[in-house]
Amino acid sequence: MKQILTFYIFGIIFCLIGVVGEANAQGTNDVKIHEIGKSPKNPRFLFGGYGEVALQRMFYTDNVERYKYPERHKDGNHGRFDLPHVVLYMSYEFGKGWKMSTEIEFEHGGTGATYEIENSETGEYETEIEKGGEIALEQFWIEKAFSQTANLRMGHIIVPIGLTNMYHMPTEFFSVLRPEEESSVIPCTWHETGFSFWGQTRQWRYEAMLVAGLDAERFNNANWINGGAVSPYEFKIANRYAGAVRIDNYSVKGLRTGVSGYYGYSAQNTLKQERYENVKGAVSIGSVDAAYDDNNILARANILYGHLGDSYDISMINKKMPNASPSPGTDVASDVLSWYVEAGYNVLSFFPNRKDKEAKLYVYAHYGFYDSMYKTSSKITPKGWTDRKILSGGINYFPMKGLVVKAEYMMRKFKAPYNDEPAVSAGVAYSGLFGN
The DSSP result for 188-241, as a single string, is TT-EEEEEEEEEE-SSEEEEEEEEEPP-GGG-BTTTBTGGGG--SSSS---SSE
Q: What is the pLDDT of residue 26?
A: 34
What's at 425, amino acid-wise? Answer: S
What's at 340, amino acid-wise? Answer: Y
Q: What is the pLDDT of residue 130?
A: 56
Q: What is the pLDDT of residue 230?
A: 86
CA distances from 21 to 111, 201, 250, 253, 288 (A): 50, 17, 11, 10, 20
CB–CB of 258/245 below 8 Å?
no
Q: What is the pLDDT of residue 87?
A: 94
Dist CA 414 CA 115 (whole Å): 28
Q: What is the pLDDT of residue 128?
A: 61
- Per the structure, the complete domain to which residue 49 belongs is given by 2-433
Report DSSP state, residue 425. E
DSSP3 helix / strand / coil % (the chain, rounded to 5): 15, 45, 40
Q: The domain that contains 103 carries what CATH number?
A: 2.40.160.10
Q: What is the pLDDT of residue 326?
A: 83
Burial of 206 (0-12, 13-18, 19+ CB in 10 A): middle
Q: What is the pLDDT of residue 219?
A: 96
Q: What is the pLDDT of residue 304?
A: 98
CB–CB of 92/100 below 8 Å?
yes
Beta-bridge partners for 220? 224
pLDDT lower than 70: segments of the chain: 1-42, 110-134, 435-436
* Mean predicted lDDT score pLDDT of the chain: 88
Bridge-based pairing of strands 191-200 and 150-158 is antiparallel
Q: What is the pLDDT of residue 231?
A: 84
Task: Report how many domains make up the chain.
Answer: 1
CB–CB of 177/54 below 8 Å?
yes
Q: Per-residue pLDDT tens for 162-205? A: 999 999 999 999 999 999 999 999 999 999 999 999 999 999 99
Q: What is the pLDDT of residue 187?
A: 95
Dist CA 104 CA 109 (whole Å): 13
Dist CA 236 CA 216 (whole Å): 13
